[in-house]
Amino acid sequence: MDPKYAAIISEYERLQTDLATPARFAREARRAVTRDQAKLKETSQRFRQLEPAVGLIGELEQNARQLAAARDSVEHETDDELLTLANQEVAELTERAARLAKEIETVLKPRDPLAGKNIIMEIRAGTGGDEAALFAADLFRMYSRYAEGRGWRTQLLSASKIGIGGFKEIIFEIKGTDVYQHLQYESGVHRVQRIPQTEKQGRVHTSTATVVVLPEAEEVDLAIKPEDLRVDVFRSGGHGGQSVNTTDSAVRLTHLPTNTVVTCQDEKSQHQNRAKALQILRSRLLAAEQEKRRRERSDARKSQIGSGDRAEKIRTYNFPQDRITDHRIKQSWHNIAGVIDGAIEPMISALAEADQ
């Protein structure tokens, strides 16, 4: 076995031992996990990254044994017809070995440190009035159903509704395995072309909504100094139960160094609203720091799928023609109804492949 593959197998088996704690050590393990959640998370993520590579290495080893047997047949075969078949097998197995080695290399490529993170997604209605707010609701449905299909969990953090069922703004969290890796390319302006329900003359209107994908920041990722934070409390407005307009449960956080403001008022308690607002604020600050680093890096590598800037028009949903076009990779798909119902994996895969 190639020494580098042997090292991968060894690391994988060590991680497997670390994660598979025998029953007699369960109590001590739970205590250790409680003490170091970050270490457990890091170990689990590395294990998940190595798992597909180990499977591919196993296939490569089996392929090597088959290739050796096929080459042996070529050396000792005297029948012309069988020799032809043996040479053909050698060519196929050699090609498969190269393909497997490339796949292993791809799997083991250093990952974006943010790839395994959960996300906070913000969707805001853009130009187009009520129709833009309805489109924002459609996008929320699209991402929610996609998350559901992958076994991820979605939690609403904040929402500003309009009377006919749309959203001026909606902020929600998606938790699961490698959420940011899959949805990182969704930031930008999404444009819709369709006939609004209120349009009596059948004219196609164009509206927009902006999507922002923030990698969820934990306290270990970004600490906020208490002196850098201004906290204002006030009475909630809108839906929210008996506490609305009777207690100061709504919270506004202002990060003074960056003048970043987050407001939360959907929960009944001030404590819950403050926790949500802090979660959103921390993620916005982490995203801003990542963007700053990206801009400081050399322009030698130009991304094929755009900058991910929230002002960049990335995709058009044309309902009359049942066509979705991603402008960054100049590729189109059909079945808008299915896409709004969460069938966006082909687009996600195409964007990831273009970025590779």
SS3 readout for 206-226? EEEEEEEEEECCCCCCCCCCH
- CA–CA gap between residue 241 and residue 203 (Å, rounded): 40
- CA–CA gap between residue 201 and residue 203 (Å, rounded): 6
| Cα→Cα distances 45→36, 148, 287, Å | 15, 21, 21
What's the predicted TM-score (pTM) here? 0.64
In what order do the strands lie in the sheet containing 205-215?
153-161, 167-175, 119-125, 205-215, 188-194, 313-318, 323-326, 331-334
In 10 A of CB 263, how many CB atoms? Answer: 16
> What is the third-level CATH fold of 226-290?
Double Stranded RNA Binding Domain (3.30.160)
Helix (H) or strand (E) holding 283: helix 270-296
Helix (H) or strand (E) holding 130: helix 130-149
pLDDT in tens, 68-96: 999 988 888 888 888 889 899 999 999 99
Query: Rounded to 5 degrees, what are φ and ψ at 91?
Result: -65, -45
CA 111 to chain CA centroid, Å, is 13
Return the domain boundaries, the chain.
3-107, 119-219+297-355, 226-290
Print pLDDT tens along the chain (356 aa).
777 788 888 888 887 777 765 554 555 555 565 456 666 767 777 777 788 888 889 899 999 999 999 998 888 888 888 888 989 999 999 999 999 988 888 777 777 777 888 999 999 999 998 999 999 999 999 999 999 999 999 999 888 998 888 999 999 999 998 899 999 999 999 999 999 877 777 889 999 999 999 888 776 567 788 888 899 888 766 554 444 445 678 889 999 988 999 988 877 788 888 888 888 888 888 888 877 766 654 443 344 445 444 557 899 999 999 999 999 999 999 999 999 999 999 999 999 888 87
Average pLDDT, the chain: 83
119-219+297-355 maps to which CATH number? Answer: 3.30.70.1660
